[in-house]
Amino acid sequence: MPAGQMNHNGVVAAAVPTYPPPESEAEESWLWAQIKAEAHRDAESEPALASFLYATVLSHPSLARSLAFHLANKLCSSTLLSTLLYDLFLHSFSSSPSLISAVVADLLAARQRDPACASFSHCLLNYKGFLAVQAHRVSHLLWTQNRRPLALALQSRIADVFAVDIHPAARIGKSILLDHATGVVVGETAVIGNNVSILHHVTLGGTGKAVGDRHPKIGDGVLIGAGATILGNIRIGEGAKIGAGSVVLIDVPPRTTAVGNPARLVGGKDTPSRHDDLPSESMDHTSFIQEWSDYII
């Protein structure tokens, strides 16, 4: 059994005993039961937080309603009322069940990949990256329904409240971790695959040269380090790693590491060091850089 898996099992085993089959209704029920149990435990041990936990989690019959309530109260303003947003989120979640499957997948991803993620409810309540992505999914739904002004207004609230600026047209997969999240910018024609982990201050930006398809395409299982800037209609291949602070303007082949400003592929153009486990899951976003920095300093 590879160490990575061991490690993974080791972390999760204690807190999350038996997983139901992924993407089943059972999975959502199981996760919601976990969250309620966590919130109950926390409400009992911390009366000062109990009001918040009851309002946001414990008074709701489902994960969808809890999240709709929480997002509505986070994103509302004096000119966009919480009741209006609540309606919008509730309706989106009930008409598009895949949104909730994605919520479930993202919660599991955060819990498995982020050592600081102490519980599912912690992620649900406190992770601005998680909340920004879920709100984005609704703004994306609105965009595809040709309700663009509303989609853009929602994007604006997400950008104000979470400092995460994702264009409603951007397409984002499942099992996404936006860790810390402050300052993330994702452009209109960007695409992010499944199982991707993105740290804060990451930009998937345009090049300004074109009106059309002009933003990066991020493959499955990619890990993008803090402060990385990826610009233009380029492809980051599946399982690639982008080092913290890198400026990437060229395609990165699958399972390859890019580092530096401007980014270079570690090991040279021809023989990039391939890595076998998914970097987005191991979250190992420095080992390769360290090699590289050892190499050049």
2, 17, 21, 209: which one binds a second copy (CB under 8 A): 209
Q: CB–CB of 201/152 below 8 Å?
A: no
Helix, strand, or coil here: 242? Answer: strand
Residue 280 beta carbon to a second copy: minimum distance, rounded to whole angstroms: 10
CB contact set of 150 (below 8 Å; sequence gap of 6+) = 88, 139, 142
- Asked if residue 82 binds a second copy (CB under 8 A), the reply is yes
Contact set for a second copy, span 85-104 (CB under 8 A): 86-88
Q: CB–CB of 58/48 below 8 Å?
A: no
Q: CB–CB of 86/68 below 8 Å?
A: yes
What is the rounded CA–CA span in Å between residue 275 and residue 255? 6
Question: Of 16-24, 53-61, 98-106, 270-278, which part binds a second copy (CB under 8 A)?
Answer: 53-61
Residue 258 beta carbon to a second copy: minimum distance, rounded to whole angstroms: 10
Q: Give the N- to C-terminal CA distance of the chain in Å, as an integer.
A: 36
Residue 1 beta carbon to a second copy: minimum distance, rounded to whole angstroms: 17
- SS3 string, 153-173, reads HHHHHHHHHHCCEECCCCEEC
Helix residue ranges, H only, the chain = 3-15, 25-45, 47-53, 63-75, 82-95, 97-113, 120-126, 128-144, 148-162, 279-282, 287-296
What is the rounded CA–CA span in Å between residue 111 and residue 106? 9
Contact set for a second copy, span 146-205 (CB under 8 A): 147-150, 152-153, 155-156, 159-163, 165, 167, 180, 182-183, 185, 187-188, 199-201, 203, 205
Residue 3 beta carbon to a second copy: minimum distance, rounded to whole angstroms: 10
16, 23, 55, 62: which one binds a second copy (CB under 8 A): 55
Contact set for a second copy, span 232-251 (CB under 8 A): 232, 243-247, 249-250
35, 107, 236, 259: which one binds a second copy (CB under 8 A): 259
Residue 125 beta carbon to a second copy: minimum distance, rounded to whole angstroms: 7
9, 81, 95, 98: which one binds a second copy (CB under 8 A): 81
21, 208, 270, 276: which one binds a second copy (CB under 8 A): 208
